[in-house]
Amino acid sequence: MPHTELPTPGRIAEALAALRDRVRETPLLESPVLAREAGAGRLFVKAEGLQRTGSFKLRGALWRLMQLDEAARGRGVVAFSSGNFAQGLAAAGRELGVPVTIVMPVDAPEAKRRATEALGAEMVLSHHGEAPREVAAAALSRDLARERGLTLLHPFDDAEVVAGQGTAGLEAMAQMAEAGAVPEVVVSPVGGGGLMGGVGIALRSAHPTAAIWGAEPEGHDGMGRSLRAGERVAAPGGPTVCDALQAPMPGLATLAACMAAGVMGVAVADGPVIRAMARAFEELKLVLEPSGAVALAAVLAGLVPVAGKVVLVIASGGNIAFDRFAECLARAARAQG
């Protein structure tokens, strides 16, 4: 399948079948307390932060590497990432015997860099100056691919990556069915849109009337702006606690997937994100990084209409250093008090 095409629901199901023995079936947690806070009928959280490597990214990385021929596997791959895809791809490469080179912005979280190195990937740091850090990292990864003969992988703008990430949505739907629930509102974090695109395609096929929302940090809401414009639009950028959701604009494949799925966009400020991290820890005993909590933040802050509805929230990752997590919880406590 050309990587600019959209994955079908059948392709996502094929990916899930192939990945069942390689990825963890992450828990789906129901919280009556958080449902009452949000005004929802029932609220479920898909805990992808408990996936191997700490985020959903392993799903797309493994499935993408499984599509390479033997020659490409032997030469190796290169990709840019601020951390979560880096860890997922490094783990996938180690498992499948594929050499992995990661280009990571020099100001990405140190904990994510150390974790990626520990998984055996070669690390190359990129310096971006005044340019968006993903733009500089992407350019360096293209140069390395050309110089070394590596296969260049995109962390989200690739139909097979989208298909792999969409397996989280298929899993969640099956788990909800076991709990006697049908999703009426689905909210997922959005960076470049790989997870949202895959989950959106999977959900829209099974539940045509569900409302599907992509949650992004304020100033980095390129997907929401693009969905409203009907074409790719860059977000203005700016400071955000959501370090993993700073793609300057969505990919071609991911925007097309989200448009096909009827996704709507919502932007969330730092305050609600930090509060959602605290509430997830208090009520669900989950450690979420800010980027992993942005969808729950959108629901708890009343930014997505959920009154009386059955809600599925994707909590996408938990890769955060202890001191930073403690700092976020302290900020949430100060804001509450």
Report pLDDT digits (tens) over 240-287: 999 989 888 999 999 999 999 999 999 999 999 999 999 999 999 999
Checking DSSP bridges between strand 77-80 and strand 122-126, what pairing results, if any?
unpaired
The span from the CA of 250 to the CA of 235, in Å, is: 10
* Grouped pLDDT means (10 residues each) for the chain, 337 residues: 76 98 98 98 98 97 98 97 91 98 90 92 89 85 97 95 98 98 98 96 97 98 97 95 91 95 98 98 98 98 98 97 96 90
Q: What does the pLDDT read at residue 2?
A: 45
Nearest Cα residue to 315 out of 337, 294, 331? 294
Could you tell me how far CA 272 lies from the centroid of its own chain? 18
Report helix, strand or coil for 26.
coil
Considering the entire predicted model, what is its pTM?
0.94
The span from the CA of 277 to the CA of 61, in Å, is: 26
The span from the CA of 262 to the CA of 183, in Å, is: 15
Q: What does the pLDDT read at residue 4?
A: 57
Q: What does the pLDDT read at residue 206?
A: 96
Report helix, strand or coil for 1.
coil
Task: Report, at the CATH architecture level, how domain 9-55+159-336 is classified.
Answer: 3-Layer(aba) Sandwich (3.40)
**What residues act catalytically?**
57, 82, 216, 219, 221, 316
Report helix, strand or coil for 196.
helix
Sign of torsion over alpha carbons 256, 261, 264, 268: negative
- Containing 63, the helix (H) or strand (E) segment is helix 57-66
Which residues partner with 310 through β-bridges? 42
Could you tell me how far CA 226 lies from the centroid of its own chain? 18
Q: What is the CATH number of domain 57-152?
A: 3.40.50.1100
Sheet holding 42-47, edge to edge: 28-30, 42-47, 310-315, 185-189, 211-217, 264-268
The span from the CA of 259 to the CA of 314, in Å, is: 19
* Residue 286 neighbours by CB distance under 10 Å: 21
Q: 304: which DSSP letter?
A: S
**Cβ contact 259:231 at 8 Å:** no
pLDDT digits (tens, 9 = 90+) for 102-140: 999 888 888 889 999 999 999 999 988 777 778 889 999
Enumerate the CATH 3.40.50.1100 domain ranges in the chain, comma separated.
9-55+159-336, 57-152
